[in-house]
Structure 1
Amino acid sequence: MTLRRQLTPAALAVVLFGAGACTGGEDGTKGDPPPATADGSACEALLGDAGMAWLKDRTGGTPRPEAGDDLKKARSLFYRQVENWDTGDSGARTFLRADLCRATGTGGGKQFEVRYGPSYFPFDAPFEEASDVSPAQTVTEVNPDVKLVHGKDADGATRYRVYVRCKIAGTPAQQESEVPIEGLMTDTLTGDTDARVHLTHLLHSAKVVADGFDCENKPVVPGQPPASLG
């Protein structure tokens, strides 16, 4: 039974609307990832120079990007959850995501955010098919270990997702496919509607995260989405 079929419609709605940010947790699991940047900014590490320049340019340089969590905490949180995952698990599971980059506009009404954590859905979930709680999404297969998904959710917001197979030592063989890494980008702040731009910056962040998580299968995360991006 796949995780998609295990989730109730109510739980699916929570999942697809991007709930479940991380708050706190133990630090350092099986070694620490490299420092985010010289000044410890998770936003700068995730987006890189090009991504930060894009964010500042699209917002007039006024928002101050910040993070509630950092890469070390994101790694620790991911490890703890997948190490506790079991192939016999049933019922809806609420995984937590680390809130790694956030920028809020004047007045707080609009926001840019990037979160990472274990995926609620298996890597091969049929995202391109509409469900009771979500319209069909556009799916782009990057390579056997990386997939991009984007589109409007049932609440009308456009969201961008990246899924990366990441095998953690000591977990069941199915873990990398059943509980891959999920990166979620929500942007109501920049006004940029170009999916390729968003997914390019999301891929950059996925490489940073996958490299920091020490995945046994060594997934290759490219710097650009494929030409076939829908």
Structure 2
Amino acid sequence: MKRHLTLAAATVLLLGAGACTADKDKEKESQAAPDDSTCNELLGDAGLKWLEDRTGGKARLKVEDDLKSARSQFYRQVENWGPEDTGVPTFQRATVCLARTDVTDMRKQLEIRYGPSYSSFDTAFGEPSTTGEKAIETVVNSDVKLVHGKETRGMFKGRVHYRVYVKCKIPGTPARQENEIPIEGELADTLTGDTGARVHLTRLLHSAKVVADSFDCENKPVVPAQPPASVK
């Protein structure tokens, strides 16, 4: 049996293999890089205008996980939870929107992430932490609360972090799942230079409504467009 290919035969095989690899690469790229429409939906027209104004139109949007992926991640993790579980869970959160003016600089970015909360909805987030910092908790309604406060450690020490918690009952899960593992949304902004809590929490609430609607929560949580008047 001959072990060597002719030059022509080898060329045909290489070209064929190259075509298959290129097709697979294109397919992989299309699966790994969702388009920016998720960011557009989560920020809304007002949020996009705010981001444009604050960055001089230089912000570039990136989506690592679209809403379908975020929903799938949330369902899978919550469905694996049980009230008898002990210990600290290892939940993952989906990065549904990322904005930077310099794609290589993580120190200046606006990031929105969603996933299961490590804390129950009833947690008193406004109590002083072990580091002495005190977060500000704002109850919006029976299904939604907002929390914001400064980070106390790490490379982003001093940055204000904004969070929203939304009760979301997933079909087939144990009773009180929506209270024990609500949706947690996070918004962190070192990009715009805007220090106002109200504008950030307004952006976060808009994204939370989009997420809650796309997750098909059985309890139909009501997520308003604006935080309470007490938030300045």
TM superposition score normalised by structure 1: 0.81
Greater than 3 Å deviation, 4+ residue runs: none
Q: Secondary structure at the match of 1:163?
A: strand
What value does the CA root-mean-square deviation take over the aligned residues? 1.7
Give the counterpart letter for 1:157 in structure 2: R
Residue 215 (structure 2) pairs with residue 217 (structure 1): no
Contact 2:36–2:63 (CA<8 Å) still a contact in 1?
A: no
Mapped partners of 2:161, 2:132: distance in 1: 12
Give the counterpart letter for 1:69 in structure 2: D
Give the counterpart letter for 1:50 in structure 2: A
Contact 2:36–2:62 (CA<8 Å) still a contact in 1?
A: no
Residue 77 (structure 2) pairs with residue 77 (structure 1): no
Offset of residue 197 of structure 1: 0.2
Q: Secondary structure at the match of 1:87?
A: coil
Task: Note the residue ranges of structure 2 that are not aligned, 5 or more in a row.
Answer: 1-30
Offset of residue 153 of structure 1: 1.9
Mapped partners of 1:152, 1:72: distance in 2: 31
User: Which protein shows a greater Rg?
Assistant: 2
Matched length: 194
Offset of residue 134 of structure 1: 6.6
Mapped partners of 1:212, 1:63: distance in 2: 26
Q: Greater helix percent: which structure? A: 2
Contact 1:41–1:66 (CA<8 Å) still a contact in 2?
A: no
Q: Secondary structure at the match of 2:92?
A: coil
Task: Note the residue ranges of structure 1 that are not aligned, 5 or more in a row.
Answer: 1-26, 28-35
The CA deviation string for residues 171-209 of structure 1, in whole angstroms up to 9 with x for no partner, is: 011210000000000000000000000000100000000
Mapped partners of 1:173, 1:209: distance in 2: 22
Give the counterpart letter for 1:130 in structure 2: P
Offset of residue 140 of structure 1: 0.5
Matched residue, 1:158: 160
Matched residue, 1:88: 84
Distance 1:207 1:134, change over 3 A: farther
The CA deviation string for residues 134-181 of structure 1, in whole angstroms up to 9 with x for no partner, is: 721100100000000001021222100000000001001121000000
Contact 1:134–1:154 (CA<8 Å) still a contact in 2?
A: no
Offset of residue 133 of structure 1: 4.7
Task: Report percent identity of matched pairs.
Answer: 63
